[in-house]
Structure 1
Amino acid sequence: MKQQDKREWEKQLVSEMIQLYCRKKHGALEGLCADCAALEAYARARSDKCPFMETKTFCSNCKVHCYNAEMREKIREVMRFAGPRMLFVHPVMAMRHVIESNREKRRKAESQ
Protein backbone atom coordinates (compact mmCIF):
# COMPACT_ATOMS: atom_id res chain seq x y z
CA MET A 1 0.00 0.00 0.00
CA LYS A 2 1.32 3.43 -0.92
CA GLN A 3 2.15 5.82 1.90
CA GLN A 4 -0.53 8.34 0.88
CA ASP A 5 -3.20 5.60 0.64
CA LYS A 6 -2.16 4.31 4.05
CA ARG A 7 -2.37 7.79 5.53
CA GLU A 8 -5.84 8.38 4.05
CA TRP A 9 -7.08 5.00 5.27
CA GLU A 10 -5.84 5.71 8.80
CA LYS A 11 -7.52 9.12 8.79
CA GLN A 12 -10.78 7.59 7.54
CA LEU A 13 -10.66 4.93 10.25
CA VAL A 14 -10.08 7.42 13.07
CA SER A 15 -12.84 9.66 11.72
CA GLU A 16 -15.31 6.77 11.65
CA MET A 17 -14.40 5.81 15.21
CA ILE A 18 -14.80 9.38 16.47
CA GLN A 19 -18.15 9.69 14.68
CA LEU A 20 -19.39 6.47 16.27
CA TYR A 21 -18.21 7.61 19.69
CA CYS A 22 -19.81 11.05 19.35
CA ARG A 23 -23.11 9.63 18.10
CA LYS A 24 -23.37 7.15 20.98
CA LYS A 25 -21.86 9.21 23.83
CA HIS A 26 -22.89 12.75 22.92
CA GLY A 27 -26.04 12.09 20.91
CA ALA A 28 -24.77 13.85 17.80
CA LEU A 29 -27.01 12.71 14.96
CA GLU A 30 -25.52 14.98 12.30
CA GLY A 31 -21.83 15.82 12.33
CA LEU A 32 -19.75 16.00 15.50
CA CYS A 33 -19.95 17.98 18.72
CA ALA A 34 -17.29 20.67 19.17
CA ASP A 35 -15.01 18.49 21.34
CA CYS A 36 -15.13 15.53 18.96
CA ALA A 37 -14.62 17.79 15.92
CA ALA A 38 -11.50 19.21 17.57
CA LEU A 39 -10.22 15.70 18.34
CA GLU A 40 -10.84 14.58 14.75
CA ALA A 41 -9.04 17.62 13.33
CA TYR A 42 -6.13 17.02 15.72
CA ALA A 43 -5.90 13.30 14.85
CA ARG A 44 -5.99 14.02 11.12
CA ALA A 45 -3.29 16.71 11.46
CA ARG A 46 -1.06 14.30 13.42
CA SER A 47 -1.51 11.67 10.73
CA ASP A 48 -0.68 14.19 7.98
CA LYS A 49 2.60 15.05 9.71
CA CYS A 50 3.63 11.51 10.68
CA PRO A 51 7.20 10.79 9.55
CA PHE A 52 6.85 7.05 10.31
CA MET A 53 3.91 6.28 8.00
CA GLU A 54 6.02 3.98 5.81
CA THR A 55 7.03 1.73 8.69
CA LYS A 56 4.00 1.64 10.99
CA THR A 57 0.44 0.49 10.65
CA PHE A 58 -1.37 2.50 13.32
CA CYS A 59 -0.46 5.08 15.94
CA SER A 60 -0.89 2.49 18.69
CA ASN A 61 2.01 0.53 17.15
CA CYS A 62 4.29 3.54 16.82
CA LYS A 63 7.45 3.99 18.86
CA VAL A 64 6.86 7.77 19.11
CA HIS A 65 3.56 9.07 20.43
CA CYS A 66 3.11 12.56 19.08
CA TYR A 67 -0.27 13.34 20.67
CA ASN A 68 -0.22 15.73 23.62
CA ALA A 69 -1.32 14.15 26.91
CA GLU A 70 -4.88 15.50 26.87
CA MET A 71 -5.59 14.44 23.29
CA ARG A 72 -3.89 11.07 23.83
CA GLU A 73 -6.29 10.33 26.69
CA LYS A 74 -9.29 11.45 24.62
CA ILE A 75 -8.33 9.29 21.65
CA ARG A 76 -7.75 6.30 23.94
CA GLU A 77 -11.25 6.74 25.34
CA VAL A 78 -12.67 6.88 21.82
CA MET A 79 -10.73 3.78 20.76
CA ARG A 80 -11.75 1.80 23.84
CA PHE A 81 -15.39 2.60 23.22
CA ALA A 82 -15.59 2.53 19.43
CA GLY A 83 -13.12 -0.26 18.69
CA PRO A 84 -15.31 -3.21 19.67
CA ARG A 85 -18.42 -1.57 18.19
CA MET A 86 -16.78 -1.01 14.80
CA LEU A 87 -17.25 -4.71 14.07
CA PHE A 88 -21.01 -4.12 13.93
CA VAL A 89 -20.95 -0.73 12.20
CA HIS A 90 -18.05 -1.16 9.75
CA PRO A 91 -17.12 -4.87 9.79
CA VAL A 92 -14.71 -4.78 6.82
CA MET A 93 -12.86 -1.78 8.21
CA ALA A 94 -12.68 -3.38 11.66
CA MET A 95 -11.37 -6.71 10.35
CA ARG A 96 -8.77 -4.97 8.20
CA HIS A 97 -7.59 -3.05 11.27
CA VAL A 98 -7.23 -6.28 13.28
CA ILE A 99 -5.36 -8.03 10.46
CA GLU A 100 -2.98 -5.11 9.91
CA SER A 101 -2.31 -4.78 13.66
CA ASN A 102 -1.52 -8.48 13.96
CA ARG A 103 0.83 -8.31 10.95
CA GLU A 104 2.68 -5.41 12.55
CA LYS A 105 3.03 -7.25 15.87
CA ARG A 106 4.40 -10.34 14.09
CA ARG A 107 6.80 -8.22 12.06
CA LYS A 108 8.12 -6.57 15.23
CA ALA A 109 8.49 -9.92 17.00
CA GLU A 110 10.41 -11.42 14.09
CA SER A 111 12.80 -8.48 13.86
CA GLN A 112 13.81 -8.72 17.53
Structure 2
Amino acid sequence: MDKVEKKRQKEQYIVEEMIRLYCRKKHPKEDGKAGQICPACQELLDYAKQRSQKCPFMEEKTFCANCKVHCYKPEMREQIRQVMRYSGPRMLLYHPVLAVWHLICSRKEKRTKKETRKPLEQ
Protein backbone atom coordinates (compact mmCIF):
# COMPACT_ATOMS: atom_id res chain seq x y z
CA MET A 1 0.00 0.00 0.00
CA ASP A 2 1.44 3.37 -0.97
CA LYS A 3 1.77 6.47 1.20
CA VAL A 4 -1.19 8.31 -0.38
CA GLU A 5 -3.53 5.36 0.13
CA LYS A 6 -2.46 5.02 3.78
CA LYS A 7 -3.13 8.71 4.27
CA ARG A 8 -6.54 8.38 2.63
CA GLN A 9 -7.47 5.45 4.86
CA LYS A 10 -6.37 7.27 8.00
CA GLU A 11 -8.41 10.33 7.04
CA GLN A 12 -11.45 8.15 6.37
CA TYR A 13 -10.99 6.39 9.71
CA ILE A 14 -10.87 9.70 11.59
CA VAL A 15 -13.97 11.02 9.83
CA GLU A 16 -15.79 7.77 10.56
CA GLU A 17 -14.91 7.93 14.26
CA MET A 18 -16.08 11.54 14.43
CA ILE A 19 -19.38 10.74 12.72
CA ARG A 20 -19.89 7.70 14.98
CA LEU A 21 -19.30 9.83 18.07
CA TYR A 22 -21.67 12.51 16.83
CA CYS A 23 -24.39 9.98 16.02
CA ARG A 24 -24.00 8.12 19.31
CA LYS A 25 -24.47 11.34 21.30
CA LYS A 26 -26.94 13.25 19.10
CA HIS A 27 -29.14 10.43 17.73
CA PRO A 28 -30.12 8.07 20.56
CA LYS A 29 -31.09 4.61 19.38
CA GLU A 30 -34.61 3.36 20.09
CA ASP A 31 -33.93 -0.12 18.73
CA GLY A 32 -30.90 -0.71 20.99
CA LYS A 33 -28.46 -1.56 18.18
CA ALA A 34 -25.27 -0.39 19.83
CA GLY A 35 -22.40 0.50 17.55
CA GLN A 36 -24.54 1.18 14.49
CA ILE A 37 -25.12 4.64 13.14
CA CYS A 38 -28.39 6.08 11.91
CA PRO A 39 -29.22 6.22 8.18
CA ALA A 40 -28.57 9.98 7.94
CA CYS A 41 -25.11 9.67 9.51
CA GLN A 42 -24.36 6.61 7.38
CA GLU A 43 -25.24 8.62 4.28
CA LEU A 44 -22.85 11.40 5.40
CA LEU A 45 -20.11 8.85 6.09
CA ASP A 46 -20.55 7.19 2.69
CA TYR A 47 -20.45 10.60 1.02
CA ALA A 48 -17.30 11.64 2.92
CA LYS A 49 -15.55 8.39 1.96
CA GLN A 50 -16.59 8.81 -1.68
CA ARG A 51 -15.20 12.36 -1.75
CA SER A 52 -11.97 11.17 -0.14
CA GLN A 53 -11.59 8.39 -2.72
CA LYS A 54 -11.87 10.90 -5.55
CA CYS A 55 -9.63 13.58 -4.01
CA PRO A 56 -6.84 14.57 -6.42
CA PHE A 57 -5.00 16.54 -3.72
CA MET A 58 -4.54 13.73 -1.19
CA GLU A 59 -0.77 13.72 -1.60
CA GLU A 60 -0.34 17.41 -0.68
CA LYS A 61 -3.13 18.15 1.81
CA THR A 62 -3.64 17.00 5.36
CA PHE A 63 -7.37 17.51 5.96
CA CYS A 64 -10.34 18.70 3.93
CA ALA A 65 -10.67 21.82 6.09
CA ASN A 66 -7.23 22.92 4.85
CA CYS A 67 -7.89 22.13 1.19
CA LYS A 68 -7.99 24.82 -1.49
CA VAL A 69 -10.97 23.13 -3.21
CA HIS A 70 -14.13 22.22 -1.32
CA CYS A 71 -15.73 19.35 -3.17
CA TYR A 72 -18.65 18.69 -0.81
CA LYS A 73 -22.17 19.72 -1.84
CA PRO A 74 -23.26 22.69 0.34
CA GLU A 75 -25.75 20.68 2.45
CA MET A 76 -23.24 17.89 3.06
CA ARG A 77 -20.54 20.43 3.86
CA GLU A 78 -22.79 21.97 6.51
CA GLN A 79 -23.55 18.53 7.97
CA ILE A 80 -19.86 17.61 8.20
CA ARG A 81 -19.16 21.01 9.79
CA GLN A 82 -21.73 20.27 12.50
CA VAL A 83 -20.16 16.87 13.10
CA MET A 84 -16.66 18.38 13.32
CA ARG A 85 -17.78 21.18 15.64
CA TYR A 86 -19.39 18.69 18.00
CA SER A 87 -16.96 15.78 17.78
CA GLY A 88 -13.68 17.66 17.46
CA PRO A 89 -13.34 18.74 21.10
CA ARG A 90 -14.79 15.44 22.37
CA MET A 91 -12.24 13.38 20.45
CA LEU A 92 -9.76 14.21 23.23
CA LEU A 93 -11.90 12.12 25.58
CA TYR A 94 -12.80 9.27 23.24
CA HIS A 95 -9.77 9.06 20.93
CA PRO A 96 -6.97 11.12 22.53
CA VAL A 97 -4.15 9.86 20.29
CA LEU A 98 -6.09 10.66 17.10
CA ALA A 99 -7.08 14.07 18.47
CA VAL A 100 -3.51 15.06 19.33
CA TRP A 101 -2.19 13.75 16.00
CA HIS A 102 -4.87 15.74 14.14
CA LEU A 103 -4.05 18.90 16.07
CA ILE A 104 -0.31 18.60 15.39
CA CYS A 105 -0.84 17.96 11.67
CA SER A 106 -3.25 20.89 11.37
CA ARG A 107 -0.84 23.28 13.10
CA LYS A 108 2.05 22.15 10.91
CA GLU A 109 0.03 22.70 7.75
CA LYS A 110 -1.13 26.17 8.84
CA ARG A 111 2.46 27.12 9.67
CA THR A 112 3.68 25.83 6.30
CA LYS A 113 0.98 27.76 4.43
CA LYS A 114 1.86 30.98 6.30
CA GLU A 115 5.54 30.60 5.46
CA THR A 116 4.86 30.06 1.76
CA ARG A 117 2.58 33.10 1.59
CA LYS A 118 5.08 35.55 3.13
CA PRO A 119 6.51 37.98 0.59
CA LEU A 120 10.22 37.72 0.02
CA GLU A 121 12.18 40.30 1.96
CA GLN A 122 14.97 42.13 0.16
Which TM class, normalised by the smaller chain length? over 0.9
Give the deviation of 1:4 after TM superposition.
0.8
The aligned counterpart of 2:75 is 70
Match of 1:102 in 2: 107
* Aligned length in residues: 112
Paired residues for 1:41-52 under 5 Å: 41-52=46-57
- Tell me the CA shift for residue 30 of structure 1: 2.5
Q: What does the per-residue CA deviation read over 1:41-72, in whole Å, with 9 as the maximum and x for residues that have no partner?
A: 00000001000001100000000000000000
Give the Cα separation in 1 of the matches to 2:10 and 2:95.
13
Percentage of identical aligned residues: 58
Q: 2: distance between equivalents of 1:83 and 1:64?
A: 22
User: Secondary structure of the residue that 2:36 maps to in structure 1?
Assistant: coil
SS of the counterpart of 2:62?
A: coil
In structure 2, what residue type is equivalent to 1:87? L
Distance 2:35 2:51 in 1: 24
Runs of 4 or more, structure 1, over 4 Å off, are: none
Q: Residues 64-111 of structure 1: CA distance to partner in whole angstroms, max 9, x if unpaired? A: 000000000000000000000000000000000000000100110111
Secondary structure in structure 2 of the residue aligned to 1:57 = coil
Structure 2, unaligned stretches of length 5 or more? Answer: 118-122
Larger radius of gyration: 2
Q: Which has the higher helix share?
A: 1
1:26 aligned residue: 27
Aligned twin of 2:60: 55
Distance 2:105 2:6 in 1: 14
Q: Distance in 1 between matches of 2:64 and 2:13?
A: 14
CA distance, structure 2, for counterparts of residue 86 and residue 42 of structure 1: 21
2:45 corresponds in structure 1 to 40
